[in-house]
Structure 1
């Protein structure tokens, strides 16, 4: 579901003349960095069968005692996971669509192909590497998802692998060997998925960027424009407006209940998380530093790995790809616990430092960065790099003057994605952050566990504001790069 949403939104935003594409690019990207904790919290407020805001409104309008939606169900879990993961697919697929030569679609139009037929028969097949990259990442990410299925699925008795691992950790005594074995099962599934991905693309050409110059042009959808615009608005409504509206309302409450009367609202919760409580101030600063560091280091490593996998003739390049993807298969609770023991065994005394959290983030998110870059690298015609080599360019000069400039849009999109996921990450830093190294994810988790709904909602709104500013800044840089 997340991949389908991502394909539809990426195509609408980057390949059509539907109005408001620049604004929607920003709005569509925001739900993912809000994170699973925030998404679960928001939709618990919206879709709880007994006192959810949507069900309260439905009951008041219809008088029906039955709820309209039940977010504590398997369809509810799938729905929440899909809408908060879809922005990953939009960013990964959109970066490839922006580099596609429009003449390939114009050829279809010359031979009588309609716009939708061209989209399904030309655009989507050529975007197959980026689409499969997004789908593979989302699949492996959901295999290791913990917060949403655990918090929404407990009442429905719906359990996943990470739930079992968490229970094994929490048991007395903890069953570490069985939890590790279950983690290795997830690793094996990821390795199989990567192998299937390589088999699908083997022996096929998906080159959409060549040495010819071209001017990117968008398709005029005419009568379909209102429909596509409505679908964009609907996604923004269910993934951003309603969740943030519910959190904003909750952040203004004096107590844990929900009051619609402004006389019962207060800004004290924001004053507390921004001024009164030093831990949250420290968490915000540390999260910004980690976001910048993870984005920069992760993109640099992912670009080198993707280039070697898709450009070198080494027999070990597929093994390199599988090893790069392996961290994604580990549930982050398992990874954080193992990483903690590794740090304690090292003589460098890294535990309790911000560098340790940064190192963990880079390892955890390198599969995401690699998938983002590989979908773009595979579309760059080899002849462009071969021409530079014939002219005597070294590997470093080749990357600096040819490959990296052609990848600028993908680099910026991947950097923004790593920044966002770093700011909202919880599990990978839960065991690694401590006094002096607190970050936003564990801070929100601790507030949720002990601080009450109003304060955790206020902190979540602060996080959303940080992400909004970051996306705006990166988007401005990306726009300048595309124009250049």
Structure 2
């Protein structure tokens, strides 16, 4: 009788897991599939007068392929992505190796630069560099004062776009390659040095070759993200007429009346291109096993002793800190204190004041925009983490429908932000739900956009939890939900908290989605900053950005403290 009851209990638990997986799969289908469907349908729809559609046509695609703008935008996108990827990889890669594999001084500055830069809104960082590299900015002014003619660099150019985008991505490259260099076995490098190889030869023949799969996969990832980039091309390239694929999509949506079919066709082309690149990225990532150097034997990576050259290397770290973090922050402080748009000059110092900060305090709409940002960022982070906790558990344990759940939860990764914005806009314009221009549509977009990030964080967390704990709970009679609540959720808390922090911070500075979906009462701070820039209110923009960055830093520190407490509780 006990055996029969045990079999029945196992059957009920299997059915419960199956129904949970089916419900999750259905939810993901509802979230993901309509986005692709509506985008393709709109791109093939034949416009009928001022509204409605009638029949299908390839005219939107034929019009694009017959238009030299597409070829120009495609070429510009490729040049921009290649240039910024190379710059980010060289800068971030060299810094990562110096910090993790040598005794270079000032290591803490590299980590501070990376973390603070990644927490700074993209719009704010770009505006700072537009000021620094502008005609009246301090860099070009100093260049001319030294006796040179013209500007050192014209910021509103392809070179300016590549420089700023490369700086934007170098912190991420540094953080990702740091993990690779940190875990690499140093025995091969030690053997090379003992055989008489110089530091440069050792790095070239050993260190870099061991990191080849990570470098290639990361290069492809940064290249894809540069293809999808919107903020730098919009703010830096558009004023001088440089268009890339993402800005072409945006421009086709901003004309009156909006060219919905053309923007959808542009979006589909960009989506297919990015999908192909991600497929290549996945293939490259799978070849990492051939380069494994860490075995089961205990080892402790030993840093290179650079000797007297360590101070030269330390100077490189200081220069990185100065260029990527300190100069932009100082530029923003200056912009926020000057009473009018101006370059850096000693004559203006007596006129510096806090009027821009006072204007922010007296403008209640900025508090509303900040509250909107916190609501949608926190809401999206919470829902994504909750949803992907279940999804990652089922997928990692190869439960029912695991493959479908994993694929659907990861699929939004191939959507550039501007493309997803166009698709979601089309969805809610075609259904009788009055959410356009509200926070609800932005929340929906953020949830869909960042599902893959929550999935990756939680999937890694689930893999660290041994199955024996779940099996013991089930043998003790715990239900599926009871097992998740009492075993999985507490042990998954560190990964889930890290996912929540990351998604919250990245949602708080998202522009590509919000710029298409926000309304007058649902603006978020990224859109408000863009509006301030368009209106020439650079002082208020800098003051608002610095205040917001301070708030985000405090929230990030609080979240980090909470994550540490959660980790201690979960693992004793």
* TM-score normalised by structure 1 residue count: 0.80
- Tell me which residue corresponds to 1:171: 255
Unaligned stretches of 5+ residues in structure 2: 1-85
Deviation at 1:173, TM superposition (A): 3.8
Task: Name the CA distance, whole Å, in 2 between partners of 1:125 and 1:411.
Answer: 34
Question: Does the 8 A contact of 2:264 with 2:422 survive in 1?
Answer: no
- Tell me which residue corresponds to 1:280: 366
- Assess, with a 3 A threshold, how the Cα gap between structure 1 residues 51 and 186 changes in structure 2: closer, same or farther: same
Q: How does 1:222-261 map to 2 (within 5 A)?
A: 222-223=306-307, 225-258=310-343, 260=345, 261=348
**Structural RMSD (CA):** 4.3
- Tell me which residue corresponds to 2:122: 36
Task: Name the CA distance, whole Å, in 1 between partners of 2:289 and 2:489.
Answer: 19
Question: Does the 8 A contact of 2:119 with 2:553 survive in 1?
Answer: no
Question: Does the 8 A contact of 1:190 with 1:326 survive in 2?
Answer: no
Q: Deviations over 1:32-59 (max 9, x none)?
A: 33333223321221112x3222010121
**Does 1:189 pair with 2:273?**
yes
Q: How does 1:403-482 map to 2 (within 5 A)?
A: 408=494, 414-450=499-535, 452-476=537-561
Question: Does the 8 A contact of 1:251 with 1:456 survive in 2?
Answer: yes
Deviation at 1:135, TM superposition (A): 3.9
- Tell me which residue corresponds to 1:264: 351
- Assess, with a 3 A threshold, how the Cα gap between structure 1 residues 269 and 139 changes in structure 2: closer, same or farther: same
Question: Does the 8 A contact of 1:17 with 1:221 survive in 2?
Answer: yes
Task: Name the CA distance, whole Å, in 2 between partners of 1:208 and 1:415.
Answer: 31
| Range that drifts further, 66-75 or 254-263 | 254-263
Task: Name the CA distance, whole Å, in 2 between partners of 1:478 and 1:307.
Answer: 20
Question: Does the 8 A contact of 2:413 with 2:452 survive in 1?
Answer: yes
* TM-score normalised by structure 2 residue count: 0.69
- Tell me which residue corresponds to 1:146: 230
Q: Deviations over 1:180-224 (max 9, x none)?
A: 112112221222222223323447638989997979766254435
- Assess, with a 3 A threshold, how the Cα gap between structure 1 residues 282 and 167 changes in structure 2: closer, same or farther: closer
Identify the match of residue 243 of structure 2 among 146, 159, 176.
159
| Range that drifts further, 459-468 or 289-298 | 289-298
- Tell me which residue corresponds to 2:168: 84
Question: Does the 8 A contact of 1:385 with 1:402 survive in 2?
Answer: no
Question: Does the 8 A contact of 1:10 with 1:93 survive in 2?
Answer: yes
Deviation at 1:440, TM superposition (A): 0.9
Question: Does the 8 A contact of 2:109 with 2:318 survive in 1?
Answer: no
Count of residues in correspondence between the two structures: 472
- Assess, with a 3 A threshold, how the Cα gap between structure 1 residues 41 and 207 changes in structure 2: closer, same or farther: same
Task: Name the CA distance, whole Å, in 1 between partners of 2:264 and 2:399.
Answer: 35
Q: Deviations over 1:227-254 (max 9, x none)?
A: 4433332222222211121121111111
Unaligned stretches of 5+ residues in structure 1: none
Identify the match of residue 444 of structure 2 among 359, 372, 375.
359
Question: Does the 8 A contact of 2:138 with 2:344 survive in 1?
Answer: no
Question: Does the 8 A contact of 2:189 with 2:207 survive in 1?
Answer: no
Deviation at 1:267, TM superposition (A): 0.3
Larger Rg: 2
